Structure 1
């Protein structure tokens, strides 16, 4: 006895006795609206996600500026209980705009260990170099030796001796700079950012971008960050 074959299901909604179906219709209005909503959601998600992924991958895909090193003096030129300002070059070829003021002091193993400061890696010079850019909106800050504080006059940001936030709106400690010792001279290189525990991030983030918790994943390094020294 020949085996009976099951009739294939019709693609038309009317043949499937779907309520409210129209003749020749292959997709119900509810199904159509569901697909439309999913498509719109996918487009909206891609519009947000793709630029973020491109931003995150950009530093690995695009050529970055060469690393610049600026000599600022010998290690013994700097005290370990005070900061001295120095001017370094961040970007070549654009004159004074490409320069920035940094604050330098010698690393004090006894004091800094008590304060929980990590010792500089062996590849670094025995100094601490802090940025003069506030981590709120990027305004210039100033070291006040009498108060042992870095102070931003714009919006009231206050930083402690190690650059940690002690008052005002800044979202993280002051940025720092890679250093190295060459021919007895301390040389200052690229900028990098740290979180509240002074954990070093390979590249720097813009002011206003926190690096604690989920913030470290939301704000990838800048495209313009030079390759690590």
Structure 2
């Protein structure tokens, strides 16, 4: 081997170069592998979501919203709770019902810009985000500000006279259903392909 002493199979220069490359690879892995795991982990996370009662059918009008508290993540107390705004499906406003899970409208309070909590203003019939000025109309479509898509919704159904809330889903401007996406991920046009659904998330849990 050129540059080697008699009997040498690896030169000192090659050994030092290989050692430096190995150390660099180990150092890079220490940063890259945790970041990759953090980014890819949710894709394979399996999350079973149950239905929960939110009140009798008579509690919900079809021309205004009623706030209800639901549990988003169980086992962590008040931190795992959130508010949804609910009303009965109104054919004149919402069009024809899609299926048995569309009898009531349940709108998430998480803004689709950066996830801040929105509130419904009955006098203006608008959902308002106080953080960055996001505005949504009566059905949750974007009406102004930076949000990239309408507010998320929840599946609903009736069991034993009680309205129940099921899994969350996302919608585009035509209110077409998509599996849940994170705030900032658009679903209109090319956005639905740039932000694909997670394969582990089911649209509707077992009834």
Tell me the TM-score range normalised by the shorter chain.
0.7 to 0.9
For residues 58 and 148 of structure 1, do their structure 2 counterparts lie closer, same or farther at Cα, with a shift above 3 Å needed?
closer
Partner Cα distance (1:120, 1:99) in 2? 28
1:45-124 mapped onto 2 (5 Å cutoff): 55=40, 59=43, 62=44, 64-113=46-95, 119-122=97-100, 124=101
Assess if the C-alpha contact under 8 Å between 1:107 and 1:128 holds in 2.
yes
Partner Cα distance (1:91, 1:185) in 2? 21
Per-residue deviation at 1:200? 0.3
Structure-1 residue corresponding to 2:28: none
Corresponding residue pairs, total: 169
Alignment deviations for residues 62-92 of structure 1 (CA, whole Å, 9 cap, x no partner)? 4512222120112221111110100111111
Partner Cα distance (2:202, 2:181) in 1? 13
Deviating 4+ runs (over 2 angstroms): 110-113, 220-228
Structure-2 residue corresponding to 1:198: 175
1:210 to 165, 186, 206: 186
Per-residue deviation at 1:222? 4.8
Assess if the C-alpha contact under 8 Å between 1:92 and 1:98 holds in 2.
yes
In the alignment, structure 1 segments of 5+ residues that lack a partner are: 1-46
The reply to whether residue 153 of structure 1 matches residue 135 of structure 2 is no
For residues 75 and 125 of structure 1, do their structure 2 counterparts lie closer, same or farther at Cα, with a shift above 3 Å needed?
farther
TM-score (norm 1): 0.68
Assess if the C-alpha contact under 8 Å between 1:102 and 1:131 holds in 2.
yes
The reply to whether residue 173 of structure 1 matches residue 155 of structure 2 is no
Partner Cα distance (1:222, 1:155) in 2? 28
Higher alpha-carbon Rg = 1
